[in-house]
Chains A and B, each alone.
Chain A
Amino acid sequence: MLSGRSFILRKILRYCVIILIVITLNFLIPRVMPGDPLINVLGEDAALADPALIAKLELKYGLDSSLWDQYLDYIGALFQFDLGYSIDKSSQVSELISENMCNTLLLILPALAISSAVSLLTGSWCGLHRGKFLDRLMTPASIIIYCMPTFMLAMIALSTFAFHLQWFPLGHQSSSGLSGLKAFFDTLYHLALPITVLTIIGISGKHLVLRNSVMQIADEDFILVARSKGYNEETIVKRHVLRNVLPPFIAMVALNVGLLVEGAVIIEIIFSLNGMGTLLYDAVMYRDYPLIQGCFLVLTFTVLISNLVADILYGLADPRIRDSARCSEEIR
């Protein structure tokens, strides 16, 4: 029997390996790809500059040392939260990211919570009442929304509700010069539309999977037994169906964070909100490589951390999972 603590330790070890791989990827991609790093940073004119100056810069940025030394330097810098310097924004990348990350989380966290709650409700309702009106509506709708590019949904929402109907502001995080409760409601007013769009995207990703797992569980024998014992539907749903849906649901929510992060990047650009999305868009426009790399690292870490939390919760929600690692080894 694997104890709870060693289960969590094993998970954390696994994620450390993933994080090391992500860091290595982030280190290797610029060095493996064609092109010279100095020209990438300084622009095409750098090739025409004085070779002595280039050599001096290479020495300064450690580009003349071996790849292994550069790698160690890179990891050492990461531990000091040094992600490099953005020439375009003339600021430290880590400062830029820490300013913008909060705004992105302000978008992702509410969307994650609302979409999880709604899809848990609709998914289990549709799974238990298949063929009813809501089921016939939700299932094709979630497939179509899943097929829509994120920017389409955001553009339609912005042009309909903000531009034509003028129910919501046309963008930006908040009006300036407010404080206290007023500022809170103002931010809510500004973020309502983007959060709604992100929530719809989140629901479309989760609804179908949840509906399928509820349907699968509703067909199991123990539900039949519970029903033949004379339990009412409410007890069966609460005690048997939902309890069993919970572990796959947690895993799904964690996988969904990746989808929401990708959605938030695009939605921020269209709604012109300050956040990682607009930062990344600017960085891509001006080919600001240190900033692109920093954004990649932070967004990936966000998704990885949420998956780690979900993995641990998963083991707590379903004690069988904790043993499953051992079990599968035995089967082999």
Chain B
Amino acid sequence: MRTWKGICAYIVRTWRGLETYQKAGVFILLLLITIGSLAPWIAPYDPLQTGTPFQSPSFTHPFGTDNLGQDNLSRLIYGIMNTIKIAFVAALVSLAIGVSVGVYSGYYRGWREDALMGVTDLFLLIPSLPLMILMASYLEPSEWNIVLVIGFLWWCPTARVVHARALQVRNQGYVRSALALGYGGPYIIWHHILPNCKQVIIAKFTMGVALAMLAEASLSFLGLGDPLSITWGSMVNLAYSCGGFANDLWWWYLPPCIMITLTAAAFFMVGGRKNEGRRWQI
């Protein structure tokens, strides 16, 4: 039974093991999540409260107002949690599918592996944005449908990597010993294969969140996002479709763009591995 002390020690140990850039990524994310969860107290206005439209930046509205007179800074702050939540859940969905497919086919092999990995390879080749547009255009625009569309399409890279790792692990001596001792497949997968895939899974997950965030931004920009939820992508879409871009109101469309880049980069930084010296991997 882990006590609070044990959990604290675990966190400290993990923190010490991180590289400097990973610490920077964690710091940015924690800061954003803190601001986002305190949004009702920090944001100067209600994001839905309307007023004078198309205002330029001023002390009362640092990023101006949009076409309905809603304060852009408040919408930006309220957008943090929505954007991260959608990307996070979408990455979780794709992780769940990818890890199950990867581990199952990597452990059981045979015709199941051929079939599952064959399908994964096929899906890897299909460009994701057109397929996402196709699926999203048939579904009702809502947060959960966006999550499902992104999540169902992005499990392939995870499945590939986890599969490769599972193949390595299943040939190790301790897995063979467990097999010889009569343990069944589910036990070995849960107690041996999955713990050994942990590193790969975490790295893929953080990258998945970053990619899901970019995908959500693209879909929202095309007008396929949920019109009722405030995300950074939908803010850019509003600015683009309501003349914010054509009239060069950069304080309207640029801040959400920069926030998307910053957050995606922070997730990349947390999960990026500089393996063997200076080799960055995307």
Contact = CB atoms under 8 A, between A and B. Distances in A.
Interface of A: 17-18, 21-22, 25-26, 29-30, 33-35, 40, 130-131, 139, 143-144, 146-152, 155-156, 159, 163, 208-209, 212, 215-216, 258, 261-262, 265-266, 269-270, 280-281, 284-285, 287, 289, 292-293, 295-296, 299-300, 303-304, 307, 332
B155 interface: no
Q: Sorted from nearest, which 9 A-B pairs have the closest CB atoms?
A: A152-B257, A33-B138, A262-B129, A258-B127, A147-B264, A147-B265, A149-B217, A296-B134, A296-B130
A227 B127 CA distance: 42
B3 interface: no
B282 A143 contact: yes
B54 interface: no
A16 to B, nearest CB: 11
A17 B279 contact: no
B218 A149 contact: yes
B250 interface: yes
Nearest to A33: B138
A284 B224 contact: yes
Nearest to A145: B261
B214 interface: yes
A214 B46 CA distance: 53
B257 A155 contact: yes
Residues of B contacting A: mostly: helix
B253 interface: yes
Given A262-B127, A292-B134, A296-B131, A148 B257 contact: yes
B268 interface: yes
A311 B138 CA distance: 33
A144 B128 CA distance: 21
A257 to B, nearest CB: 8
A201 to B, nearest CB: 12
Interface in B176-225: 210, 214, 217-218, 221-224
Contacts of A304: 125-126
B131 A149 contact: no
A155 B253 contact: yes
25 contacts: A18-B125, A25-B131, A29-B135, A33-B138, A130-B278, A148-B257, A148-B264, A151-B221, A152-B257, A152-B261, A155-B245, A155-B254, A155-B257, A208-B281, A209-B282, A212-B281, A215-B278, A258-B127, A262-B130, A270-B245, A281-B222, A287-B137, A299-B130, A300-B130, A304-B125
Interface of B: 109, 122, 125-131, 133-135, 137-140, 210, 214, 217-218, 221-224, 233, 236, 240, 245, 248, 250, 253-254, 257-258, 260-261, 264-265, 268, 272, 278-282
Nearest to A281: B222
A262 B131 contact: no
A70 B186 CA distance: 42
A100 B108 CA distance: 47
B137 A144 contact: no
For the residues of A in contact with B, the DSSP-based class is helix
Contacts of A292: 133-134, 137
Given A143-B268, A143-B280, A152-B261, A293 B122 contact: no
Nearest to B269: A143
Given A149-B217, A280-B133, A300-B126, A159 B265 contact: no
B137 A284 contact: yes
Given A147-B264, A147-B265, A285 B138 contact: no
Given A29-B135, A143-B280, A212-B281, A151 B236 contact: yes
Contact of A299 (B127, B135, B224, B281): B127
B125 to A, nearest CB: 6
Residue among B122, B125, B223 with most chain A CB within 10 A: B125
Nearest to B113: A332
A283 to B, nearest CB: 8
Contacts of B236: 149, 151-152
A30 B122 contact: no
A281 B130 CA distance: 11
A29 B265 CA distance: 33
Contacts of B224: 284
A34 B138 CA distance: 8
Contacts of A269: 222
Nearest to B257: A152
Contacts of A29: 134-135, 138
B220 to A, nearest CB: 10
A18 B134 contact: no
A293 B261 contact: no
B245 A159 contact: yes
Contacts of B125: 18, 258, 303-304, 307
A151 B133 contact: no
Contacts of A208: 280-282
B129 A149 contact: no
B127 A300 contact: yes
